[in-house]
Amino acid sequence: MRDDTVLETAAAPGRTITISDLARFVPTGATLSAEPSNIAVVGLPANFLSTARTESVPGSVLGRALTVRFTAVSHLFDYGDGEKRTSPSPGTPWTAAQPQFTPTDTSHVYKAPGTYTATVTTTYIADIDLGAGWQTISGTLAGPPASQTIRVVTARTALVQNTCGERPGAAGC
């Protein structure tokens, strides 16, 4: 891999392509969501997921056609309550093997009910292809943040005998 990719054009002979030249190509399609259904329960983990992925973007630099391949290398999750976490993973959905409300690499536990705006900012490395194969460019680029409103609620539980239909005056009914 090289980090000194030289772009030969009549306009700029021998010019080195830098990460700054690729900033306008950054993928913008990432979204953010939280499980379950963008609702969190105070004191229990909410699982956050970004859709950032490796993406190729065609374009040109100084009149020369190229393809830029962006690969996500880190994700900064800002949970909207003052807490942040950086993860190499965009998050993994809960499954039968990882039941709901269990901690993940990107989960967060809110301490108070309310409405929060969570964001994720993904950092990418870039490779370019000028038609002769992929070459790595030095440096990283941060993509635009993706955000999601998260409603955090308090859950109250009570043990009851029978159902509320059978005993409507029981605790918790």
Contact 164, 105 (CB under 8 A): no
Coil/strand/helix, residue 19: helix
Predicted local confidence at residue 172, as pLDDT: 64
Contact 16, 6 (CB under 8 A): yes
Predicted local confidence at residue 82, as pLDDT: 96
Residue 103: alpha-carbon gap to chain centroid: 17
Predicted local confidence at residue 141, as pLDDT: 87
Residues of the chain with pLDDT under 70: 1-15, 96, 158-160, 171-173
Contact 71, 55 (CB under 8 A): no
Domains and their CATH numbers in the chain: 6-153 (2.60.40.10)
Bridge pairing between strands 146-153 and 114-129:
antiparallel
The pLDDT tens digits for 81-109 are 999 999 999 998 988 677 888 899 999 99
HSE, side-chain direction, 13 A CA sphere, residue 146: 19
Predicted local confidence at residue 171, as pLDDT: 67
List phi, psi (to 5°) of 112: -140, 145
Predicted local confidence at residue 33, as pLDDT: 93
Predicted local confidence at residue 14, as pLDDT: 62
Coil/strand/helix, residue 26: coil
Contact 50, 90 (CB under 8 A): yes
Predicted local confidence at residue 173, as pLDDT: 66
Residue 58: alpha-carbon gap to chain centroid: 22
